[in-house]
Amino acid sequence: AQTVTQSQPEMSVQEAETVTLSCTYDTSENNYYLFWYKQPPSRQMILVIRQEAYKQQNATENRFSVNFQKAAKSFSLKISDSQLGDTAMYFCAYSRGSGAGSYQLTFGKGTKLSVIP
């Protein structure tokens, strides 16, 4: 079974600084997707960024970028120029790309990020 591990339960960052959240995963598949979701106190889960395993280029979305290390099964999220609105729980998630269990998300336990003014 696939597992997703987030080893940092809580992190904090000063406003305008950069922070990196860590995620590792375990899979024997070659075709899969990785995601970072953000869940603010309002509890709505918001997709931040997606990475396809077959793409070597790291995904970026504005201030959010990932460092995808396929061999190491590592998928970290970098948030640049942190803003107060970035305060939230961040979940790393995995899904298979094909076959049984495809597109069902497996989540880590989350990292609580606090942006300090």
Q: Which is nearer to another protein, 46 or 84 (CB)?
A: 46
Q: How far is the CB of 98 from another protein (least distance, A)?
A: 10
Angstrom CA distances, 30 to 33, 71, 96, stand at 10, 11, 9
104 binds another protein, rule: CB under 8 A: yes
| Per-residue mark of binding to another protein, 18-47 (x: CB under 8 A) | ---------------x-x-x----xxxxxx
Q: Which is nearer to another protein, 16 or 47 (CB)?
A: 47
d(CA 53, CA 34) in angstroms, rounded, equals 7
Q: Minimal CA–CA distance to 33: which of 92, 110, 77?
A: 92
Q: How many CB atoms lie within 10 A of CB 70?
A: 15
Q: Residue 106 in contact with residue 4, Cβ under 8 Å?
A: yes
Q: Indicate which single residue of 19, 108, 113, 115 sits in contact with another protein (rule: CB under 8 A).
A: 108
Placement of tokens 């497996």 in the chain: 106
Q: How far is the CB of 110 from another protein (least distance, A)?
A: 5
97 binds another protein, rule: CB under 8 A: yes
Total number of residues that touch another protein (CB under 8 A) = 27
